[in-house]
Amino acid sequence: MAASSEETAARAFLDDEQVVLTRGNQEVVRIPVQAIKLIGEYTNANGPIADDWFIVFMTAAKEWKQISHYTPGMLEMLQELSLYLKSPLIGSLAYSTSWKTNIIWPPTVAEQEMWDVISDEPATLFGKLKRALGFADQQLVLTAAAASVFV
């Protein structure tokens, strides 16, 4: 029997000063607001077939969780979170159709790139072939602006 849409639907919300994402009855993400050091966003080229705009919550340990901006409750949760943080949380990548990142909070580094994409230099012929085909190994590295939040 297939699961009903209510059983599988995702929802983002604040609960007891924690960012929460649920899918159906299962809790997928729970981050205490006090642990959040950086909030950012990124887009990719997956739309309109799949979600392509994500909000990123990064903790002091530089661990991060992403939640699709399209998740039901996300706008309301960001509005409520902005009251708690006493700072607007407004993304700017709504119309981006390719890879792009942006820091939303804290305000001292807002509106700057969040991540740089670093491609490893291939050492083997197979690695060079992968890179030529667009499948190079890549790493996300915090930009200097984003890294400054963790100093």
pLDDT digits (tens, 9 = 90+) for 12-67: 999 999 999 999 999 999 999 999 999 999 998 887 788 889 999 999 999 999 99
pLDDT of residue 76: 97
Identify whether the C-beta of residue 66 lies closer than 8 Å to the C-beta of residue 84. no
pLDDT of residue 4: 46
Q: Residue 131 class from Cβ within 10 Å (0-12 exposed, 13-18 middle, 19+ buried)? A: middle
pLDDT of residue 149: 97
Domains of the chain, by residue range, sit at 5-113
pLDDT of residue 2: 47
The hierarchical CATH code for the domain 5-113 is 2.30.29
What average pLDDT does the segment 86-106 reach? 94
Banded model confidence at residue 1, pLDDT cuts 50, 70, 90: very low
pLDDT of residue 138: 74
For the chain, give the mean pLDDT. Answer: 90
Of all helices (H) and strands (E), which one includes residue 41?
strand 36-43
Return the SS3 of 104.
strand
The one-letter code for the residue type at 34 is Q
What average pLDDT does the segment 81-91 reach? 96
Contacts of 74 (CB under 8 A, 6+ apart): 12, 55, 67, 68
pLDDT of residue 145: 98
Beta bridge partners of 38: 58
Banded model confidence at residue 126, pLDDT cuts 50, 70, 90: confident
pLDDT of residue 82: 97
Rounded CA separation 45/73 (Å)? 23
Rounded CA separation 10/24 (Å)? 6
Q: Is residue 133 over pLDDT 90?
A: no
Tokens 């190994």 belong to residue: 137
CA distances from 42 to 121, 140, 143 (A): 24, 12, 13
